[in-house]
Amino acid sequence: MTTHSLRRAAAALAALALIPVVWIQGVIGMPTMSEVVAAKTADTLGVWLFTWSLIVIASAAAAAVAWACWSWDREAARSQDFQKTA
């Protein structure tokens, strides 16, 4: 395993570790939908929906970063195997 492989693996693990952190912060830090609907503050529902959409987007982005790290490492390993056989 090369230094680049270790760095990619660390980046992938860090990205995947952030997904539960984002969801926990969202669940703990945000009010429930019933509280939002009952609130008399202007556009609380819009902010609530926007925040949850950011949580979903952050989760998808973290998964995409982990996938990209894995695929780059996989391609580097294939390229290295190809160069050894050629």
CA–CA distance, 46 with 37 (Å, rounded to integer): 11
71-84 pLDDT, tens digit each: 888 887 777 766 66
Domain count, the chain: 1
29-52 pLDDT, tens digit each: 888 878 877 877 777 888 888 889
CA–CA distance, 2 with 41 (Å, rounded to integer): 55
Q: At 86, is the pLDDT very low, low, confident or very high (cuts 50, 70, 90)?
A: low
Residue 56: predicted pLDDT: 95
Q: Which range of residues forms the domain containing residue 51?
A: 3-85
* Backbone angles phi and psi of 31, in degrees to 5: -70, 165
In 2-86, alpha helices (H): 3-29, 33-38, 44-85
Q: Are 36 and 44 in contact (CB under 8 A)?
A: yes
Q: At 1, is the pLDDT very low, low, confident or very high (cuts 50, 70, 90)?
A: low
Closest CA to 37 of 29, 46, 28, 27: 46
Percent of the residues in the chain that have a pLDDT greater than 70, as a whole number: 91
Residue 22: predicted pLDDT: 92
